[in-house]
Structure 1
C-alpha cells in the first residue's frame, strides 16, 4: 500500500515507516503542472537542484541559488496535494556551519511549504544533520555520488567500488545516527547499496544504485525522454517526449510558413461580417 493513499499529505515519518514495506516512488518536479502530474503516483516529489541543468541550462548544479530553489519549491507545492515535497539545499547554503544550514533550511521550508530538505554529504555533514533535526527540520540525506562535489570527485562517476565501499557505508551509518529519516544513494554499486539498505533502519532511495533499495528516484525529464541526447545508464526512458515535441514543433512551423495555420476553426470572425453572409 502506497503512502499516497493517505487522505493527508505524506510526511517524513510516513516515509520512514515505509522501510521494508512498499517501495518508495520518487520523481523530481520543478513546476506546478509537472507536480500535478506526478503527485497522484508518487510518495515523494523532490525539487532537486538538478533544475539548474534541466531548466536553466547550467553546466552543473553548483550555480543554483537558494532563491531558485525557493521559486521552484513554491511552484511544486502548489501542484502537490498528496506526495511529500522535499527541496534540495543548494551548494553553499549549508556547508559553512550548522547555524547557516538551519537558517537556510528553515527559510526553504517556511517559504515553500515543503516538509523536508535534502542535503549532500555523509560523515562530514553528520553534525549539521543532527543540528537540523533537533530543531524541527526533517533531513533526507544524500551520499555516494554527490553532484555538488563533482569537481572534487572528478566527474559523475560510480562511487563505492572496492576501497571506497567502506567510506560509503560509514557515510550511511553517520547520517542515520545523526537523525536523517531517509537517504539517497546515487551511483553506488548494486551489491553495496543492497548491503547498506539491509543494515540501515531508515529507507534508502536509489538512483543508479540497483533494485534492492527501499525506493527509487529519477529526474522526471530524463524518464520522459525530454532530452534526446542524454542517456545515462541508470535511466529508463518511459516515453520519448523529446522526439514527439520536435515533430510537433516542426509541423507547426511548416503550417505557419504555408499559411495553413491558423485555419478557419482557429480564427475569430467579426460578428457584423458574419451576420451578412
Structure 2
C-alpha cells in the first residue's frame, strides 16, 4: 500500500528556517505605515507551516477590501475580464486594459504582496516580447512583486517552461500555474478537473511542478486537481503551493473575490465557498433608493440638504422682485 506524508515535517524545524538579515536603513528609505510583505516573508511563513491566503482584486475598491483584511497576497487575475469587464473569456482581455487595472489595484494601501497575471497574448509571441511585457507590468508600480504565468504539461509546453526559466534567470519573480489553466481551456477540453484520468496524467503534473521549481518559480498555483494529487505534489516541492479547487493539503488557498463575495448573479464552482452575496445586497439597496426617490422619502430636507441663512435668502428674493 502506497503511503506518504503530505507535508514534510522537516520544514517546520527551526533549523530549516533561514534567518533574515537585519534590514539596512539608509537615509533614502521611507518607512511605510504598513510594510508590504515580501516573497521572503511569505517563504518564512511557508517554512513555519502557516497557511498562506490569497484572493483576487481588480480595482482600487476590491484591493482596499483585501488589504484591509490583511490577506497575504492579492492576485490581479485576468479573471477580471469576465468578473469586472463583461468579456466572455479571459482570452478576450486586451493587455493595455489589464495594465490599467494593475495600476488601480496598486493604489490601495496595505501589506499584501501583489501578484499580477500575464494575460493571454502577452507572452506567447516570443520570449523577447514576453520579457518586454513582463517588465512593463513590473514597472507599472513598485508594489507589483511577482508575475503569474499559466503553464501546460512540460512534455508539450516547452516554450513556456523555457520562458519561465529565462525570466527567473533575469530576476523576474514568477509564480507558476498548473492544472486547469483557463487560458488553455479549449485545448484542455473545457473547465475540467486535471490529474484524475490516468497515472500518466498525474505523473506529468508532478514532473511539471518539479520542472517549474527547478526553473526558478518561487510558488505554484494548483487549480482543479484532486486533493490527494495536490497534496502529493506539495510534499515533493520546496516551494509553496496555492490551491484553488485542490483541497486542504496545499500550502495556501486562493479564491476569486467576485465568487467568494457573490458579486455577480448565478452559481459558483464546486470548490468555492460564498461568504456573502454583495450582488443581492447591492440590488436590494438600489431598489430601495429608487422607491424612496419615487415616493419622496429621499432626500430628506432635515438630513441630506444644505441650509442658507434667512437674511441672505430674503436679500436675494427682494432683489429678484424689485
> Normalization by structure 1: what TM-score?
0.92
Contact 1:69–1:88 (CA<8 Å) still a contact in 2? no
How far residue 218 of structure 1 moved from its aligned partner, in angstroms, is 0.5
Aligned to 1:175: 212
CA RMSD of aligned residues (A): 1.8
Query: Out of 147, 165, 169, which is 1:117 matched to?
Result: 147
Query: Out of 139, 147, 159, which is 2:174 matched to?
Result: 139
Q: Match of 2:54, SS?
A: strand
Contact 1:10–1:82 (CA<8 Å) still a contact in 2? yes
Matched residues in 1 for 2:235 and 2:167: separation? 26
Kindly indicate whether residue 62 of structure 2 is the aligned counterpart of residue 62 of structure 1: no
Query: Out of 236, 239, 243, which is 1:202 matched to?
Result: 239
Aligned to 2:112: 83
Please give the per-residue CA displacement for 1:41-61, whole angstroms capped at 9, x wherever unaligned. Answer: 211100000010011011110
Kindly indicate whether residue 52 of structure 2 is the aligned counterpart of residue 24 of structure 1: yes
Matched residues in 2 for 1:55 and 1:7: separation? 28
How far residue 249 of structure 1 moved from its aligned partner, in angstroms, is 1.0
Task: Decide which moves more: 131-140 or 115-124.
Answer: 115-124
Unaligned runs of 5+ in 2: 1-32, 315-322
Question: What aligned pairs does 1:126-275 form with structure 2 within 5 A after superposition?
Answer: 126-163=161-198, 164-264=201-301, 265-272=303-310
Contact 2:34–2:109 (CA<8 Å) still a contact in 1? no
Matched residues in 2 for 1:247 and 1:7: separation? 35
How far residue 161 of structure 1 moved from its aligned partner, in angstroms, is 0.6
Matched residues, number? 271
Q: Match of 2:90, SS?
A: coil
Aligned to 2:25: none
Contact 2:55–2:74 (CA<8 Å) still a contact in 1? yes
Please give the per-residue CA displacement for 1:219-276, whole angstroms capped at 9, x wherever unaligned. Answer: 1111111123132111101112221112111111111122221121112244337876
Matched residues in 1 for 2:205 and 2:244: separation? 15
Matched residues in 2 for 1:271 and 1:7: separation? 45
Unaligned runs of 5+ in 1: 1-5
